[in-house]
A and B are shown apart, each in its own frame.
Chain A
Amino acid sequence: MATTAAVRPQEADIPEAVVVRFAGDSGDGMQLTGGQFTLSTALAGNDLATFPDFPAEIRAPQGTLFGVSAFQINFGSRRINTAGDAPDVLVAMNPAALKVNLAALKPGGLIIADTGAFTKRNLDKAGYDTNPLEDDSLAQWDVLAFDISERTIEAVKPFGLGNKDALRSKNMWTLGLALWMFDRPREPIHDWLKQKFAKKPDIADANIAALDAGHAYGETAELSGPVKQLTMPPVESEPGLYRTITGAEAVSLGLVAGAQLAELPMFFGGYPITPASAILHHLARLKEYGVTTFQAEDEIAAICAAIGASYAGSLGVTSSSGPGIALKGEAMGLAIMTELPLVIVNSQRGGPSTGLPTKTEQSDLYQAVYGRNGDAPLPVVAARSPSDAFECAIEACRIATQYMTPVMLLTDGYIANAAEPWKVPDPASYEPFPAQFLQEKNGEELLPYKRDAKGARPWIKPGTPGLMHRIGGIEKAADTGHIDYSPDNHQAMTDARKDKVLGVDVPDQEVALGDSSGKLAVVGWGSTFGPIHQAVGRARRKGLDVSHIHVRHIWPLPGNLGELLRGFDHVLVPEMNTGQFKTVLRDQYLVDAQPLTKTSGQPFQIAELEEAIGKYFDGVPGNEGGEVAVNEQQLPSPEGGAK
């Protein structure tokens, strides 16, 4: 590594965190660049959070605004909770990428642009009358513009690729430059390229050459331009083995772990849908862990097959996103009536109908809690981050098998795709919850609907001698499970189903940051954890009496939550929907929960939340900016997780 030649900035210049956004055409490989940069960041020991933001179109027409794909990473030498509000560095591989992302860039930030892609044609497509790199419109930022396309072609020339193929390595050239900027070793990326293109060594070599050329360019450019090399010290982390993990990976691994803790084979029924498909893809490769994956003909068949598998004694799991979850509604009712375990994962996306398939939202909370015909309660658990999705998936498996009930696990498009470092847990540190099957009659006659102390009925596998019985969606008589439409029985069974779910053992709600009573509680759920945590942290640093409460158990709610909320003068509920959790809290506790809503398909920014918090306090000192280092001690331990 040629870091010796670099003129190192003064110690004081090193920021605690930097936000970089790679943006280009969907064909420019920005997600790959971002992913590899993330890896090198993790290897450098920095904490990080990422936000991949890509178009719904697979191959959007080149150069168009809607075809822009971006990957943002926030990394630092302290704890990082969000992908960052505004980038410090914007890499724009074409005019459209510049146009779409410029507004987000911090004043004084750095733009790295590929002049080779700023052709008349591309400028027209992006709607630029004049070349922004040549007029004065970018004056408030530092600009490093040069012909990345040309330099890439030059670098890969020895490999005899045509121009079109050569330009495919542009992203690696750019990555090389980024690696130089942050003083990162190239070897892990070399290794990765060699592995990825094991069957096409030429392509691997060309990409490596491009990467090296970009890196070398950094050294030369530094002497004359705005680029400085920056070495960010590693974050202080608990010793242990780490990896990066996305929410989709974490859900998959958590389900595998959950099934093992229940001592059950897992059956996963899925139907492709963004952003849930990644879970099906991950699990399809884990067959040796007792996982059967089934790509069904539609979402209804996917959940029904999972129910059929649960009936036969497997842990049935199905996963989808909003529109697919809507299709599963009737079958969830069947699982509720027949009281079979089932885990339903909803990776929420934006809007009704097809909506915003690749963007994030939290607008399926009503659907999860209320969205079925009849009185059809089921437990709902929501993950707050990619790594938390692992714990939540285990928790969902535990509740489903212990209470004989379908459970919904909520994540969202942001959690599904975003990556963060994860301290790899030891599966042996989780308390097993082995499933029990009835082996002989539980009364003089078999009573398939006789409940245990938790309100759960016995799980009876077909194939067990002597326990033949019939179940179905028609109302069941208590105990015997025979068809029974009588008024008293339906009343009793409706109550029993409701009480069973309300009786699920949910840990008490902890306060994520701040005191357990005071002026303002900011109450969140799901992927808003990061921005809320940072905003509350900043506000507290300004001396404001505000606390962050983050709810994992959406249904049933933690037993102490009502009391906790009543200890605050104000309750503010930021959500990426029009105020759904707020309604549930008002309904359950008659507290004056106030909504703070956002449905743009983009996560909350810290500044937005800070501003909303500020409104509760007169004479707030100015926004100091920057993320706060949150004392890890103040974070609640993962509920129901490692013991």
Chain B
Amino acid sequence: MNAPAKIETTLKDWVTDQEVRWCPGCGDYAILKAVQRTLPQLGADPANTVFISGIGCSSRFPYYMESYGFHTIHGRAPAIATGTKLANPDLDIWLVTGDGDGLSIGGNHLMHVLRRNVNMQIMLFNNEIYGLTKGQASPTSREGTRSPSTPIGSYDHPARPAAFALGSGARFVGRGFDVSKHLPDVLMAAHAHQGAAFIEIFQNCIVYNKDVFDDFAAPKGAEDRQLWLEDGKPMLFAGDTKGIALDRDALELKVVDVTDGDWKSAGVIAHDVTNRSIAHMLVEMPFGPFPMALGVLYDDPRPTFEAAVAAEREKARAGKEANLARLLGTGQTWTVNGTAADPV
């Protein structure tokens, strides 16, 4: 991919004339703002930027971005975006999906776009509910979620989007939440990553699943419940009084107390974004006994799908002339003059 020239824009340049149709107070507004704030910082060119989404409240997103946009069909955005990226690898693609869109109907496509490593940013707005269809339980809804389709509480086990992504082969896994001031940083890291970058964004559906993330996202007590990961920095939280250490015998993470900032002797580990084993533990780290892991959980690029496709095409082309007339007449042919046939 050619590194495109940086373009100067402001937040306003990314706002469309379309009336935003989310419920007042929906977390989607905050995410929209965060993205519109991030793109100028990236020097992104609206003409070269494409937002591709599936179906859901979250997937309305492209209509509100003054760029190219494609609001597709339920669950299939990863497949559509793959075709778009292969057809024009220079485009900067952002994929917008929901927990239902990306993990129920579109789970298969999400898995494959990640394992193929198609270069794009994939934002999964996780509100743990089907918003657009009026509040049914989704694959990320917690056990016991009461909804029109689960009146006495859901009993299926929720999927974990970040763990799903990593298990599918994602080389970038990030996490943030709608109103977090750090969200643009996570988005920028995702954008800098060459390859499929998966970002789980917790989003408050105030109508059908109000404040389900408050236990870690609410400003009060956030310090104690959020672990913001930074590459090379110790995994500390609660005002640096607690940290994450590795229980080497049990091969699992544990919370340890840190006194006087001496995290080393407490056994706290420094975050290495390229450590896939630790990443697997971080995406599985249960909230409650542990804080919520946020930020860049994993970032270790490898060659992209579209680069491999282009390289194969170049290889096929090398030294060959694409002569259609000759191609049509290839194989075992013969010529007819009058009635006699001569093999050639």
Q: Which of A237, A257, A311, A313 contacts B339 (CB 8 A)?
A: A237
Residues of A near B88 (CB, < 8 A) are 312-313, 461-463
Q: Which of A42, A256, A334 contacts B334 (CB 8 A)?
A: A42
Tell me the complex Cα distance, A338–B62, Å.
15
- For chain B, the bracket of interface size reads 35 or more
Given contacts A288-B317, A461-B88, contact A307 B340 (CB under 8 A): no
A306 touches B83 (CB 8 A): yes
Closest to A337 in B: B73
Tell me the complex Cα distance, A616–B157, Å.
67
Asked if B70 is an interface residue, CB under 8 A from chain A, the answer is yes
Asked if A273 is an interface residue, CB under 8 A from chain B, the answer is no
- Identify which of residues 315-344 in chain B touch chain A, using a CB-to-CB cut-off of 8 Å: 316-317, 320, 322, 324-325, 327-341, 343-344
B47 touches A308 (CB 8 A): no
B62 touches A313 (CB 8 A): no
Q: Which of A309, A465, A466, A471 contacts B84 (CB 8 A)?
A: A309
Residues of A near B62 (CB, < 8 A) are 470, 472
Q: Which 8 A-B pairs have the closest CB atoms?
A: A472-B71, A308-B83, A45-B341, A305-B83, A287-B316, A304-B79, A312-B87, A470-B69
Chain A residues within CB distance 8 Å of chain B: 39, 42-45, 188, 192, 233-244, 253, 256-257, 260, 265, 267, 269, 286-290, 292, 294, 296-298, 300-302, 304-314, 316, 330-331, 333-334, 338, 424-428, 461-474, 482-483
A286 touches B327 (CB 8 A): yes
A463 touches B91 (CB 8 A): yes
A267 touches B87 (CB 8 A): yes
Given contacts A44-B341, A313-B88, A331-B73, contact A304 B331 (CB under 8 A): no
A292 touches B309 (CB 8 A): yes
Tell me the complex Cα distance, A163–B24, Å.
80
Closest to A261 in B: B324
Residues of A near B334 (CB, < 8 A) are 42-43, 45, 241-243
Q: Which of B46, B50, B55, B333 contacts A242 (CB 8 A)?
A: B333
Asked if B255 is an interface residue, CB under 8 A from chain A, the answer is no
Most central of B65, B67, B81, B88 by chain A CB within 10 Å: B88
Most central of B85, B328, B341, B343 by chain A CB within 10 Å: B328
Closest to B338 in A: A239
In the complex, per-residue mask of B28-50: 1 if CB is within 8 Å of any chain A CB, else 0: 00000000000000000011101
> Distance (Å) between the CB of A312 and the closest chain B CB?
4
A316 touches B47 (CB 8 A): no
Tell me the complex Cα distance, A462–B52, Å.
12
> Distance (Å) between the CB of B339 and the closest chain A CB?
5
Tell me the complex Cα distance, A334–B85, Å.
19
B109 touches A301 (CB 8 A): yes
A307 touches B47 (CB 8 A): no
Residues of A near B78 (CB, < 8 A) are 301
B112 touches A301 (CB 8 A): yes
Residues of A near B16 (CB, < 8 A) are 470
Q: Which of A243, A287, A290, A472 contacts B72 (CB 8 A)?
A: A472
Residues of A near B66 (CB, < 8 A) are 468
Asked if B313 is an interface residue, CB under 8 A from chain A, the answer is yes
A240 touches B70 (CB 8 A): no
Residues of B near A239 (CB, < 8 A) are 335-338
Given contacts A237-B339, A238-B336, contact A316 B83 (CB under 8 A): yes
Q: Which of B48, B79, B324, B330 contacts A305 (CB 8 A)?
A: B79
B343 touches A312 (CB 8 A): no
Residues of B near A466 (CB, < 8 A) are 47
Asked if B125 is an interface residue, CB under 8 A from chain A, the answer is no
Given contacts A243-B331, A308-B79, contact A428 B336 (CB under 8 A): no
B76 touches A243 (CB 8 A): no
Q: Which of B80, B87, B324, B338 contacts A289 (CB 8 A)?
A: B324
Residues of B near A425 (CB, < 8 A) are 328
A290 touches B322 (CB 8 A): yes
> Distance (Å) between the CB of A45 and the closest chain B CB?
3
Residues of A near B317 (CB, < 8 A) are 287-288
A sample of 14 cross-chain residue pairs with beta-carbon separation below 8 angstroms, ordered by A number, consists of A43-B343, A234-B336, A239-B337, A241-B334, A287-B312, A288-B317, A288-B320, A301-B112, A310-B83, A427-B328, A468-B47, A470-B62, A470-B68, A471-B69
Closest to B337 in A: A239
Given contacts A242-B334, A243-B329, A307-B80, contact A334 B72 (CB under 8 A): yes
Closest to A185 in B: B343
Asked if B108 is an interface residue, CB under 8 A from chain A, the answer is yes
Asked if B82 is an interface residue, CB under 8 A from chain A, the answer is yes
B47 touches A465 (CB 8 A): yes
Closest to A312 in B: B87
> Distance (Å) between the CB of A440 and the closest chain B CB?
12
Q: Which of B46, B67, B76, B86 contacts A267 (CB 8 A)?
A: B86
Tell me the complex Cα distance, A320–B259, Å.
65
Q: Which of B87, B329, B338 contacts A241 (CB 8 A)?
A: B329
A308 touches B87 (CB 8 A): yes
Asked if B90 is an interface residue, CB under 8 A from chain A, the answer is yes
Asked if B133 is an interface residue, CB under 8 A from chain A, the answer is no
A473 touches B72 (CB 8 A): yes
Tell me the complex Cα distance, A461–B66, Å.
15
> Distance (Å) between the CB of B102 and the closest chain A CB?
14
Tell me the complex Cα distance, A292–B82, Å.
12
Given contacts A240-B335, A242-B334, contact A305 B325 (CB under 8 A): no
- Identify which of residues 139-188 in chain B touch chain A, using a CB-to-CB cut-off of 8 Å: none
A471 touches B70 (CB 8 A): yes
A240 touches B336 (CB 8 A): yes
A45 touches B80 (CB 8 A): no
Asked if B63 is an interface residue, CB under 8 A from chain A, the answer is yes
Tell me the complex Cα distance, A472–B54, Å.
9
